[in-house]
Chain A
Amino acid sequence: MGIGIIVLIVVLAVLFLVIGFIWMTYNGLVRLRNQVKNAWAQIDVQLKRRHDLIPNLMETVKGYMKHERETLEAVTSARNLAQKAIGTGVGAQAKAEGELSSALSRLLAVVENYPDLKANQNFMALQEELTSTENKISFSRQYYNDSVLTYNNKTQMVPSNIIAGMFGFKTGEFFEVTAAAEREAPKVSFG
């Protein structure tokens, strides 16, 4: 009894605190890294949804837009290119999707000249879906970037950066809109 026991208790307590800190920080980092992964998956889901919508849109629009062959073909080919770009890396995919976005907004700008089409129930429903998908893409990108920011802060700030370094947590990459086409696309229709 005496000093030995007290020292032992103090050492155990410190050890307990250190292990507790490592444990909690590690779990926090894992949670954030998973959040980033999920956010990335969400972007993919929305991009795919947009690809799926386009054939329907083309089918509906075709009958009304006899004089817009080029605009229509641009959308279809942009969609096919975007389809092919899946899995070719963030930059390439973002570029292809950007082209698709601008082809689509050109199409929807032209729709203004076709009042019959605008009044078509089927088209109105499709346009709502398309507008919303466009929103969902940008919101999922926004959430992804927010998640990456939180995760990166955690991996770089003291003291959690020590744990991140120890277990090899790498910082995440932001989803920047690299395609010039998308940045400059006249956003006519997508609210």
Chain B
Amino acid sequence: MDCPACKGVVVVVEYQRIELDYCTKCYGVWFDAGELSLLAERLDLRGAALDVNQIAALPEKKAAEKARGCPICRKKMKKVTLGSAPEVLVDVCTRGDGLWFDGGEVGQVLGQLKDKGAAADEQGRVIDFLGEVFHVRG
């Protein structure tokens, strides 16, 4: 798979038995739908807030950021925001293949993580997981 943002080479990062795809050039992260549900189960989050199809049904967010194609099905992804304080802008595959966090978004997560204690909502906990995995980044 190629990076949907910069076409760079993507490596697979396996952390605590969860796989994430990580672009070595722009540091963006692809969270596959199957892996997301594995993580949700591990964290014992049974809510619908982590289902990729549910996330894809969230209202589209107007953003200046360029539209990206899904690395799996090549269809244009939708921009939505996840979590609350901090809100993170992500691209979600409308077919339900997965989520894309831009390199900048992951950086934003890392920056805000330190200010906050345990994240309140389910989406926040996934964002925390990302922050934990990409502790240092490229």
Task: Tell whether any CB of A sits under 8 Å from a CB of B in the complex.
Answer: no
B residues lining the A interface (CB < 8 Å):
none
Q: Chain A: residues with CB nearer than 8 A to chain B?
A: none
